[in-house]
Amino acid sequence: MRIRSMAVAVALSATGLLVPVGMASAADAHPASVTRVATLPGASAPGVQVSRSDGQLHTAASRTQTARTLEIDYQVQETGYWCGPAATRIALSARIGPPSQADLAAQLGTTENGTDHISQVTSVLNANLGTGWYETKEMPNDPPTQEQKDLLWRDITLDINNNYPLVTNIVAPPGNQPPGYPPDQTIYHYFTVIGYDDANMSVLIADPASFSGNQIYWLSFDQLATLIPPKGYAA
């Protein structure tokens, strides 16, 4: 278990089951033949190298003075409610040959209602890696406090620098969504953070939903921080 130099965010009170977090329908979460690598206007992060092998997408690791991205194997979620298993698999692929989405769905206790809580992802990540690296961080305040945002950025840079992708549980309502999301729906989802650019405060996302073919893309840190509440992340 790592000792953090900053206090974790205040925990959420107990709640019932989440609404389905796999939100993408089977039609929406289809394997796309083209990977779109989006960049923020004026982004200084290097272009992300994406290749396809054995039916999977692979991102290459890269590092500059301000940016770092990790090597991962990407898969689209195989059902409309397996975003949790798929995001967990992407994170594990940075360090080991990961289990299948089906195996991870069983480990996570994922049902047709999705994966209930980010703490289940934390436990499964640590169990498969044989480590205590990952911790559950809750962000109950919407909008998040500055302390929570500072902790999130510190976790992103610390984890990515040590080759640990983050898994985040997000809520994306109309008007505040990543690229390609259905604009008339609130999307409950898990995706994986696999890189960052310190120069423009952006993060690289591996998104198993593949909405409109958006799979690997840059997102501003400020937007990510507004998407996580009132959920949390594993870092």
Average pLDDT, the chain: 83
The pLDDT value recorded for residue 55 is 67
The pLDDT value recorded for residue 105 is 98
Q: What is the pLDDT of residues 27-67, one digit of tens each?
A: 233 333 333 444 433 223 347 888 877 767 889 899 989 99
H-helix or E-strand spanning residue 235? none
Q: Which CATH code for domain 50-234?
A: 3.90.70.10
Higher pLDDT, 166 or 11: 166
Q: What is the pLDDT of residues 64-81, one digit of tens each?
A: 899 999 999 999 999 999
Rounded Cα distance between 114 and 87, Å, is 12
The pLDDT value recorded for residue 56 is 78
C-alpha angle 103/104/109, rounded to 5°? 105
- Summarize the confidence of residues 218-229 as an average pLDDT: 98
The pLDDT value recorded for residue 58 is 86
User: Which residues, at least 6 apart from 180, have a Cβ–Cβ distance to it below 8 Å?
Assistant: 211, 212, 213, 214
The pLDDT value recorded for residue 4 is 33
The pLDDT value recorded for residue 53 is 73
Exposed, middle or buried: residue 52 (CB in 10 Å: 0-12, 13-18, 19+)? exposed
The pLDDT value recorded for residue 170 is 98
- Summarize the confidence of residues 185-190 as an average pLDDT: 98
The pLDDT value recorded for residue 199 is 93
Sign of the Cα pseudo-torsion (206, 207, 208, 213, in order): negative
Q: What is the pLDDT of residues 128-171, one digit of tens each?
A: 999 999 999 999 999 999 999 999 999 999 999 999 999 999 99
The pLDDT value recorded for residue 9 is 29
The pLDDT value recorded for residue 49 is 82
% of the chain beyond a pLDDT of 70:
80
Judge whether residue 82 has pLDDT over 90: yes
Rounded Cα distance between 183 and 31, Å, is 21
Q: Answer yes or no: pTM beyond 0.85.
A: no
Picking from 198, 192, 208, the residue whose alpha carbon sits closest to that of residue 43 is 198
Judge whether residue 200 has pLDDT over 60: yes
